[in-house]
Chains A and B, each alone.
Chain A
């Protein structure tokens, strides 16, 4: 098992290398002098020269890359010229809301979508099935922020049940924390639920056509037992896969959701960084999100081995 994990860890190195190269090149591909871009629009040529020296931007590109990677492995992600803090500090400050939002959404979405998908498959063609399919198409068709604004309009403005915007730290006030998380989680989770419910349904349907389901029926098992014991476990692999891949949607959606609900998280940070062309921050955030995404999918890979005994490298 450790062997397997080690091998998978090594397999993600090339992927992360590609990401790192891309992120590294981002700054160098921008039209204009990278140092000037980092320094900002109001910098003097002295400041620009200073930055050029400090970041070693006249060195050959391979050396720059090496230094950059080396720095990161030591925990140094550079300084944000716009925010006047180190990038690490910035990220630390903004981490909690994004983490909270992601976890809440993940729990909410998976616990809603998988049962819905299973029921829709079990009762294929019925009203329930059609409703689930219709809702999932709707989920794909509305941008996250539109859903967000609709929800705010109905629940916060008209009904006044929940706050419109803002974030409360979990340490400070748990009740307030939950209140502020409800609408954002539903908003962010909508497209995720749509995707997972669909794939769950499709996966269960496909499994229900397999030969061993026919064997299970031939043994005299009831439909419910066939579904729960035989179909679900075999459908688990594609469902796990889509949960993993869907994290990408979560991350992207978090950027928008934080914007709509005014949550001071990493997503908002990314936008602010892009608008002010603060490259060190943009690079660090993208790298961070990508690494998290890859690691989560690695966990899912390991999860496969628990579910399907055939996958034992």
Chain B
């Protein structure tokens, strides 16, 4: 191998043990891979695959409970697994750097951004104050932050998520390390911001020849930037190879299953208006938050403005948007978890936005909602059976009748009907989400709202839940309102799509239409930013 091609990072036979009592022996088992200079290697896997553990082991930042028990990690030939703490500190930020997932919490809130980057220079170089400042301004410009002087003096909370992540990247790359480890750096960011950051990382590493180890669970990101891909499952390396090869000709069964689970960005449904009754209709729905206080500045936030939607029986309407677009606000207004300030909401023929809490009660059963976080959607102290029957019993059903209904619903969502007396913690995330769907269906609603209901699930579990939702919709002839920020998910199950930005609906139409030929500037930008949009993920038989 020529000098230029010697791997920056070589992980050989790495095994990291979990503390006793965990559900498997090793977090990571006999993992081998390399990262060459100038290439981006993606470690991809579902939760619990050990991908983050590998990243932390390389940097020497593992939690005390996890211990590497065998193997070597060679950074430019030096085994850093055997290195002393002092040596590791020398290497950090000078030869290897790491950026993390949550830019909000990864920066020290009480130090200015400039100071935090300065720290790196003060610790590792002997440059004087002026030289350091110059270097910092230079790197801030390279990460495309406008007004570097102002950013230098500002605090993290004064910047946006994307800007904070750029600061992290600046901190990591200011001393030109040979290896950059990125642990899900764009997962917490909006689609458009994510695209910018991905582009930035790709540019920077190309110009400096940095090797990048990129951890992600998103195959779209893999398709967008990876040169090579390693697929991990339960701590073991399942398959590794060039991106194009892995994505189009996967060999292992697990890899095939994973890739088949990734929804296509091209819509599956026809988007034909059915001749059915309208279940949900909103007219100029709006929600304004006004905070007035004694001696407080008056702040007015318009979370939703003039939203007009309509959904018929048997249809799925998706509301797509980034955070702050107002999509969740609209969903919660319709479910009357918050009260709209303007406009009307019609369920069938009844107007429910203006009803008082008392008079609203009988109509509550018509609209049910499934939330995002399966771990917080069920009361951990009561059995899942009790959670499901709570609703029907509120409306007069006897306990035995309600339980019978609950059993049938458990079958509908493909769970064991005899597990009603178990507690939520005895179920996995995907199963809990199904229980939440069962709870919603127990009310026999006309409209089912799914508020980012699959966003917190692994891609393979996500596929199952989406298929279930679709099947339920068909069988029970429900109207479904599906809130999501993930374009692929929307493409998979929505008939119609409303795109929201800053509280307003900017585009509305059949999924095929909106995805295929977007009209509004924002929609176009949104689709242009979707990672891996040019890649068509195939379906592979196991």
A and B touch in the complex (CB under 8 A): yes
| A10 is an interface residue with CB less than 8 A from chain B | yes
Which of B29-37, B87-95, B221-229, B463-471 lies on the face that meets chain A? B87-95
B95 (CB) vs chain A CBs: closest residue? A220
B110 CB contacts on chain A under 8 angstroms? 233-234, 307-310
Segment among B116-124, B136-144, B392-400, B433-441 that sits at the interface with chain A: B116-124
Query: Which chain B residues border A307 with CB–CB below 8 Å?
Result: 110
Option from A214, A230, A234 in Cβ contact (under 8 Å) with B100: A214
Interface mask (B150-165 → A, CB under 8 Å = 1, otherwise 0): 0000010100000000
Whether the Cβ atoms of B106 and A211 lie closer than 8 Å is yes
Contacting residues of chain A (211-233) with chain B, CB-CB under 8 angstroms: 211-212, 214-222, 225, 229-230, 233
Residues of B within 8 A of A130 (CB): none
Total A-B residue contacts, Cβ distance less than 8 Å: 75
Q: In A263-313, which residues have CB < 8 Å from any B CB?
A: 307-310
Please, which residues of chain A bring their CB within 8 A of the CB of B92?
Answer: 217-220
Q: Please, which residue of chain A has its CB at the minimum distance from the CB of B293?
A: A7
In the complex, A147→B519 CA distance in Å?
79
Chain B residue nearest to A231 (CB atoms) is B108
Does A41 sit at the interface, judged by CB under 8 A? Answer: no
Q: Could you tell me if A220 and B94 are in contact, using CB atoms closer than 8 angstroms?
A: yes
Question: Within the complex, what minimum Cβ distance (angstroms) separates A306 from chain B?
Answer: 11
Q: Which residue of B lies closest to A233 (CB)?
A: B110
Chain A proximity of B445: nearest CB distance (Å) = 40
| Shortest Cβ distance from B124 into A: residue | A220
- In the complex, chain A residues whose CB is within 8 Å of the CB of B119: 216, 219, 221, 229
Which one of A212, A216, A218 contacts B105 once the chains associate, using CB atoms below 8 Å? A212
Decide yes or no whether A210 CB sits under 8 A from chain B: yes
Report A-chain residues with C-beta under 8 Å of the C-beta of B97.
Answer: 218
The answer to the question of B171 belonging to the interface, with a C-beta cut-off of 8 Å to chain A, is: yes
Q: Which residues of B contact A229 (CB under 8 A)?
A: 111, 119
Residues of B within 8 A of A214 (CB): 61, 100, 106
Q: Type the 1/0 row for B77-105, where 1 means its CB is closer than 8 Å to any CB of A.
A: 00000000000111111100110101001
Chain A, Cβ-Cβ closest to B86: A222
CB-CB nearest in chain A for B120: A219
A215 in contact with B100 (CB, 8 Å): yes
Report the separation of the CA atoms of residues A308 and B171 in the bound assembly, to the nearest whole angstrom. Answer: 22
Q: How far is the CA of A214 from the CA of B107 in the complex (A)?
A: 10
Task: Give the CA-CA distance A10 to B293 in the complex, in Å.
Answer: 13
Check A215 against B91 for contact (C-beta < 8 Å). no
Closest chain A residue to B109 by CB distance?
Answer: A310
Are A217 and B61 within 8 A (Cβ)? yes
State whether A222 touches B100 (Cβ < 8 A). Answer: no
Category for how many chain B residues contact A: 20 to 34
Within 8 Å of chain A (Cβ to Cβ): is B59?
Answer: yes
Q: Which residues 146-202 of B have a CB within 8 angstroms of A?
A: 155, 157, 168, 171
Chain B min CB distance to A33 (Å): 41
Give the distance in Å from the alpha carbon of A42 to the alpha carbon of B30 in the complex. 93
Chain A contacts of B124 at CB under 8 A? 220
Contact residues of A between 38 and 68, Cβ < 8 Å to B: none
Residues of B within 8 A of A212 (CB): 105-109
Asked whether, in the complex, the Cβ of B109 is within 8 Å of the Cβ of A211, the reply is: no
> Which of B91, B98, B109, B295 touches A10 (beta carbons < 8 Å)?
B295
Contact with A along B283-307 (1 / 0, CB 8 A): 0000000000011000000000000
CA distance A200 to B123 in the complex (A): 28
Residues of B within 8 Å of A7, CB to CB, are 295
Chain A residue contacts of B120, Cβ below 8 A: 219-220
Mask of A5-16 contacts with B, CB within 8 angstroms, 1/0: 011001000000
Instruction: Report yes or no: B93 in contact with A218, Cβ–Cβ below 8 A.
Output: yes
Cβ–Cβ contact B100 & A211, under 8 A: yes
CB <8 Å contact, B155 and A309? yes
Smallest CB separation, B151 vs chain A (Å):
15
* Set of chain A residues within 8 Å of B100, measured between Cβ atoms: 211, 214-215, 218
A165 to B495, CA, bound (A): 87
Which of A210, A218, A225 has the largest number of chain B CB atoms within 10 A? A218
Once bound together, how far apart are the Cα atoms of A234 and B123, in whole Å? Answer: 21
Are B108 and A230 in contact, with the CB atoms below 8 A?
yes
CB-CB under 8 A from A215, the residues of chain B are: 100, 106-108, 168, 171
B284 to chain A, nearest CB (A): 35
- Report the bound CA distance from A135 to B155 in whole Å: 39
Q: How far is the CB of A222 from chain B (nearest CB, A)?
A: 6
Please report the C-alpha to C-alpha distance between residue A31 and residue B121 in the assembled complex, in whole angstroms.
73
Known: A214-B100, A309-B157. A220 touches B109 (CB 8 A): no
How many Å from the CB of A229 to the closest CB on chain B?
Answer: 8
- Write out the residue numbers on chain A whose beta carbons fall within 8 Å of the beta carbon of B157: 309-310
Bound-state Cα–Cα, A10 to B294, Å: 10
- Name the distance in Å between B75's Cβ and chain A's nearest Cβ: 14
* B379 smallest CB distance to A (angstroms): 27
Q: Mark B11-40, 1 if CB is under 8 A from A, else 0.
A: 000000000000000000000000000000
Whether the Cβ atoms of A211 and B89 lie closer than 8 Å is no
A227-258 interface bits toward B, Cβ cutoff 8 Å, 1 = contact, 0 = none: 00110011000000000000000000000000
> Which of A6, A210, A222, A310 has a CB less than 8 Å from the CB of B89?
A222
Interface string of B436-479 (1 = CB under 8 A from A): 00000000000000000000000000000000000000000000
In the complex, which residue of chain A has the Cβ closest to the Cβ of B56?
A: A214
Residue among A7, A216, A220, A225 with most chain B CB within 10 A: A220
Chain A proximity of B156: nearest CB distance (Å): 9
Q: Complex Cα distance A222/B107, Å?
A: 17
Q: Bound complex: CA of A210 vs CA of B123, how far in Å? A: 21
A220 to B98, CA, bound (A): 11
Task: For A10, list chain B residues within 8 Å (CB).
Answer: 294-295
Q: Is there an interface contact between B102 and A211, defined as CB atoms closer than 8 Å?
A: yes
Which of A218, A230, A233 lies in contact with B98, CB distance below 8 A? A218
Question: Which residue of B88, B94, B108, B171 is within 8 Å of A234 (Cβ)?
Answer: B108
Please indicate the chain A residues that have their CB under 8 angstroms from the CB of B98 in the complex.
218
Which 4 interchain pairs have the tightest Cβ spacing?
Answer: A220-B92, A211-B105, A212-B108, A220-B89
Binding site for A on B (CB under 8 A): 59, 61, 88-94, 97-98, 100, 102, 105-111, 119-120, 123-124, 155, 157, 168, 171, 294-295
List 14 additional A-B contacts (Cβ < 8 Å) besides A212-B106, A225-B123, A233-B110. A211-B100, A215-B168, A218-B59, A219-B119, A219-B171, A220-B94, A229-B111, A229-B119, A307-B110, A308-B110, A309-B109, A309-B110, A309-B157, A310-B110
- CB<8 Å pairs between A and B, sample of 27: A7-B295, A10-B294, A210-B105, A211-B102, A211-B106, A212-B106, A214-B100, A215-B100, A215-B106, A216-B108, A217-B61, A217-B92, A218-B61, A218-B98, A219-B93, A219-B123, A220-B90, A220-B91, A220-B93, A220-B120, A220-B124, A221-B123, A225-B123, A229-B111, A308-B109, A310-B109, A310-B157
